[in-house]
Chains A and B, each alone.
Chain A
Amino acid sequence: MHPVRRQRLLIVLLVVLFSSAAVGLVAYALRGNINLFFPPAEVARGEAPVGTPIRVGGMVREGSVQRSDDSLEVRFVITDFEADVPAVYEGILPDLFGEGQGAVASGVLNEQGVLVASEVLAKHDENYMPPEVSEALEKSGFDHKGNAR
């Protein structure tokens, strides 16, 4: 290769390399801030601030959803199967919110460790299948990868 072109190629590669390194370091420094939510385990360890708005994300524990009779208030527990965070929310939940499904609730942790949520989002997972397949899997007791449930 012509020496001038080789030098230019080297400069191009260095530009890519150094900008990647710079962005990589920034992302590493901000790694906590780029996360959209805290998992319940981090909340339990006291890593999430109390009294300021945060998001907590995980699964809605089976059997934990309690709806109030006379208002839109809903109580449920967000879990990552390591720790639990109870949450209370007043408002309309997304259609895909449900027990055993992912959810991200944003709100403020009160002194009792309850998340007073102002917004609840359903978190969808990466599994897509027709209803018949889902029912068949339900009966067989295996998930789509063949792991026993």
Chain B
Amino acid sequence: MWSFFHKLGSPPWLFGIAGSILRWLLPITLVALAVGLVWGLLFTHPDFRQGNSYRIIYIHVPAAVVALAGYYVMAIAGAVSLVWKMKMADVAMRACAPIGAALTFIALVTGSIWGKPTWGTWWVWDARITSMLILLFLYLGVVALYEAYDNKEAAGKACAVLSLVGTVNIPIIYKSVDWWYSLHQPASIRFTGGSTIDASMLYPLLLMIVAFYCLFTCCLLMNMRAELVEREARTNWVRKLARAGEARA
């Protein structure tokens, strides 16, 4: 058990294990994304009120769900690096931020595109949309704060504190449509009680959510590998790796 944690702190081991996970997770992700997209966008029925425009749900909802979950991954990694001074947790935190920012951006843009034909406006300052915009700024803030420091240890600490403070926004985003009057509709997928989305539309949506979780994991592992090689550029294992790469090319 403890040897696993010690290995987790070793950059070459983490680089290797991330690579072997990616080797099977990446194809699964791509297949799940392709199947989910074709199923959702081409083979489901149009909605009784919105027609075809509701299909943006198959991108919008998975991106938003994983953007929220990804923030917890970033904050927990930040907490681990603060408390246990684990370098690899710092790498994971730094790797999460741009992915989360991209997912939040996708959720905001697709929501805006859907809002125009459905609500009649691109943007409205309601609680859900505004708190989601704050999430985007939090993610971008972590990226910017990290780059603002020359000392990477200090950068890691500052970013960990920022991401921890930002966690308060996640339940606010999630519950905003229930706590306040907002233009955004409440959740259609419920953990308790029945979902208010027809089963034929729900299954491709659930597949897309799983696919986006896998996509997040793949991007995270790839980002971490890139970050590891960059940080450890002067060490022997990276030099060996580079030489092996040259020999193959």
B117 surroundings in chain A (CB, below 8 A): 94-96
A-facing mask of B62-87, CB < 8 A → 1, else 0? 00000000000000000100111000
When chains A and B are docked, how far (Å) is the Cα of A67 from the Cα of B46?
29
A134 surroundings in chain B (CB, below 8 A): 48
B44 surroundings in chain A (CB, below 8 A): 130
Number of interface residues of A (CB under 8 A): 45
Q: Which residues of A contact B (CB under 8 A)?
A: 5, 8-9, 12, 15-16, 19-20, 23-24, 27, 31, 34-39, 57, 93-97, 101, 104, 119-135, 144-145
CB distance from B135 to the nearest CB of A (A): 13
Assess A132 versus B45: contact at CB under 8 Å? Given A34-B127, A36-B126, A126-B186. Answer: yes
Instruction: State which size class the interface on B falls in.
Output: 35 or more
B30 surroundings in chain A (CB, below 8 A): none
Q: Contact between B161 and A124 (Cβ–Cβ < 8 Å)?
A: no
**Overall SS of chain B's interface:** loop
Assess A36 versus B180: contact at CB under 8 Å? Given A127-B197, A128-B57, A130-B45. Answer: yes
**Overall SS of chain A's interface:** mixed
B194 at the interface (CB under 8 A from A): yes
CB distance from B50 to the nearest CB of A (A): 7
Partner of A133, one of B48, B164, B167, B187: B48
